[in-house]
Structure formats: C-alpha cells, structure tokens
C-alpha cells in the first residue's frame, strides 16, 4: 500500500565475494537503479558474477533494461549498431560465421524471402547456379540455354521451332453439274512457307500421283486425255510432267536455308483430251512437310 502512494528512487552499487561450505569461491558485482512511480516498479542494472560449479568455473554478465543499445563513439555516429528492445534485436550489419535459425524472413510486407522450419523456401527472385535436384514443381517463362534430357513423357500444348510441320489439301476438280462427280483435275494450289526460323530447313513433298486416260484407237486416230502437273518455286518452273495411260509421279526434297526469304510453291494441274465430251483425269492430294535440316543420328550408305 505504501508503494502505491509514494514515489521512490534509488541507486545501488554492490559487490560481494564469499567461500561456501565446500570451499568454493564466489564473487559478484553489480549496479542497479530502481524507481517506483504510480505504483509501478522500474529497474535497470548490470552485474558480473563468477562462481564455482560442478562443471568448473562459470562467469556471467547480466543486463536488466527495457532497451539495450551499443553506439560506437569513435565514428561520431549516433545511430546504434545494436539495439535490443522487448524481445527483438536490431542490428545494422551482421557478419556470422555460422547461423542456426528455425525460420528466416526478410523485410517487406509481404516478405520477399522466407525459409520455414519444414524447409519451404519462398523468394520473389532467385539467381541459382550449380546443381539443382527437384522432384516436382512448376516453371513459367523458362529458357533452356543448352541441352535438355527428358527420360519420361513430354507433353506440350504448343511447340515453336524445331518441329515437323505438315499441311495437306485436295487438288481442285471439275465436277459434273448434275451429279457433282469428279471428272478431271484442274486448278492451282499455292503454299507459302515463312522464313521464321533461325536454322536451315527442308521442304519434303511426298509423291503426287496423277494420270490421264487412254481409250484406244478409233477409225482415224488414238483417243486420250492428258493430265499435266507443273510445279514452280518462287515463280521458277522446277517440274513439268504429263500422263495419259501411264501414271506419273512427282516428289521432292527442297532445301530452305535460314535467312533465304519466304518460299512460295505453286502446284498447277490441267487436263485436256482429243475426244468429244468431258475428259477424265485424277491426281492424289497434295501433302507437304517442313522439317529442320539435320543428319544427326541418320546414316545413308
């Protein structure tokens, strides 16, 4: 009750040394400031002690204060390099040879870096070199600068670059107006291949089979229908063939160097006959593939 009514302040310095019943030597020294204000007791102090224990000599340096700070007076800096207040310690710069910490968290809200006791690492940005061993995860916007070996199954929703690309289309036909049945091949297909890759490629054209018709000889001459196929690369004729009774075929592998520009291929088919009525001819569908030019793993002898 008296402490609740009276404000008291006191500065004490004490020292003591003694020898216990077992002949063990002990010593202590300390200084303490105490104050009671509005019924609350405040204390600040520091102490040194040395005592004999079963494990040998034990020394202690104890400090009691709400806030502890260390300031280097030599550099004129008034900012403490070390502050302990409450249950937290703040240091401007720390050099540690070995750190054992269950949890590590960086500043910021939310933190840019954290490491939890179960080994979970979270970082906004990371630059990692050397060997990485992982069993699962997800990566977005990743560049693999060199070789990559995949022992399992690769699934890709979309692939650009070193991959086979293929197109196919039926050649135009003249059809009978009444039935819609194909009579003869006539028309042009145009294929444009963009020069959009950094490596050399090849254009592969599987065989295109085409054939006209031969009806034999009448009283005056032979009767036939001829089917002609012409192929041009960027306007230059690279193939021309004509068939009547004997089927003809065209297929090719064309080089497409990187940086050589767009390649335009035109495939024109026409049919003519020397008899009355509509001629007859047929041609297989156009199929074209574009692949990276490489002989790795392939040998021809």
Query: Which H, E and C letters describe 217-246, residue by residue?
Result: ECCCCEEEEEEEEEEEECCEEEEEEEECCC
Average pLDDT over residues 172-187: 95
Task: Give me 170's structure tokens.
Answer: 């039926």
Within a domain: 240: yes
Considering the domain boundaries, does residue 288 fall inside one? yes
What average pLDDT score do residues 252-257 get? 97
Residue 175, pLDDT > 70, answer: yes
Residue 71's CB is within 10 A of a number of other CB atoms, namely: 13
User: And the tokens for 147?
Assistant: 């070789």
Yes or no: say if 187 and 171 are a contact pair by the CB < 8 Å rule: yes
Q: Could you say which of 64, 80, 113 is where a domain stops?
A: 64
Q: What is the pLDDT of residues 148-168, one digit of tens each?
A: 888 888 887 777 766 789 999
pLDDT the model gives residue 44: 87
User: In 3D, which of 64, 54, 50 has the Cα closest to residue 15?
Assistant: 50
Decide: residue 30, CB within 10 A, 0-12 exposed, 13-18 middle, 19+ buried: middle
* pTM: predicted TM-score of the whole model, two decimal places: 0.57
The mean pLDDT of 140-148, rounded to a whole number, is 88
* Range of weakest confidence among 4-13, 183-192, 200-209, 286-295: 4-13
Q: What pLDDT does residue 38 have?
A: 80
Better pLDDT: 289 or 299: 289
Q: Among 8-22, 86-100, 135-149, 258-272, where is mean pLDDT lowest?
A: 8-22
**Domain presence at residue 149:** no
- Asked whether residue 110 is assigned to any structural domain, the reply reads no
User: For 56-67, what is the mean pLDDT?
Assistant: 87
N residues, the chain = 301
Mean pLDDT, rounded, for 140-144: 89
Q: Which of residues 64, 96, 116 is at a domain's end?
A: 64
Can you say how many angstroms the Cα of residue 124 is from the centroid of all Cα atoms in its chain? 15
We report the CATH number of the domain holding residue 241 as: 2.60.120
Comparing 251 with 217, the larger pLDDT belongs to: 251
Which structural domain range is residue 233 located in?
Answer: 165-292
Helix or strand holding residue 196 (H, E): none
> 223-245 pLDDT, tens per residue?
899 999 999 999 999 999 999 98
At 219, the pLDDT band (50, 70, 90 cuts) reads low
Q: Name residue, tokens 């004729």.
A: 237
181 found inside a domain: yes
Mean predicted confidence (pLDDT) in 215-227? 81
End residue of a domain, out of 12, 41, 64: 64
Number of folded domains that form the chain: 2
Work out the percent of the chain whose per-residue pLDDT is above 70.
94
C-alpha dihedral, 31 to 35 to 39 to 40, nearest 10°: -60
* Structure-model confidence comparison of residues 171 and 154, the more confident one: 171
- 176 inside domain: yes
Local structure of residue 75 (DSSP, 8 states):
T
Q: In this structure, is residue 224 part of a structural domain?
A: yes
Tell the residue number behind the tokens 């710069």, with chain if given. Answer: 93
DSSP 91-108: ES----S----S-EE-ST
Joined tokens for residue 35: 């104050």
Q: Is the pLDDT of residue 3 over 60?
A: no
Residue 137 belongs to some domain of the structure: no
**For residue 5, pLDDT beyond 70:** no
Mean per-residue pLDDT for 262-280? Answer: 93
24 vs 209, which has greater pLDDT?
209
- Please tell me the predicted confidence (pLDDT) of residue 185: 97
């Amino acid at each position: 009750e008296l402490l609740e009514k009276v404000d008291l302040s006191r500065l004490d310095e004490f020292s003591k040394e003694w020898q216990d019943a077992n002949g063990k030597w002990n010593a202590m020294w300390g200084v303490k400031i105490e104050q009671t204000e509005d019924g609350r007791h405040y204390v600040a102090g520091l102490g040194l002690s040395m005592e004999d224990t079963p494990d040998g000599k034990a020394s202690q340096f104890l400090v009691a204060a709400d806030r502890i700070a260390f300031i280097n007076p030599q550099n004129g800096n008034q900012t403490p390099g070390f502050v302990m207040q409450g249950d937290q310690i703040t240091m401007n710069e720390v050099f540690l040879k070995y750190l054992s910490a269950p949890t590590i968290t960086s500043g910021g809200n939310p933190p840019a870096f954290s490491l939890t006791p179960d080994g979970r690492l979270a970082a906004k940005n990371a630059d990692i070199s050397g060997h990485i061993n992982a069993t699962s995860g997800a990566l977005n916007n990743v560049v693999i600068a060199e070789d990559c070996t995949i022992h399992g199954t690769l699934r890709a929703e979309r692939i650009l670059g070193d991959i086979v690309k293929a197109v196919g289309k039926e050649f135009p036909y003249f059809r009978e107006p009444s039935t819609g049945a194909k009579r003869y091949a006539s028309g042009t297909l145009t294929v444009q291949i963009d020069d959009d890759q950094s490596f050399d490629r090849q254009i592969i054209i599987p065989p295109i089979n085409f054939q006209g018709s031969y009806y034999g000889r009448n009283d005056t001459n032979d009767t036939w229908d001829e089917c002609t196929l012409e192929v041009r690369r960027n306007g230059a004729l690279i193939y021309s063939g004509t068939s009547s009774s004997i089927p003809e075929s065209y297929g090719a592998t064309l080089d497409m160097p990187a940086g050589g520009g767009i390649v335009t291929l035109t495939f024109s088919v026409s049919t003519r006959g020397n008899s009355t009525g509509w001629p007859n001819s047929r041609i297989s569908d156009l199929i074209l593939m574009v692949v990276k030019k490489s002989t790795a793993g392939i040998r021809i002898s």
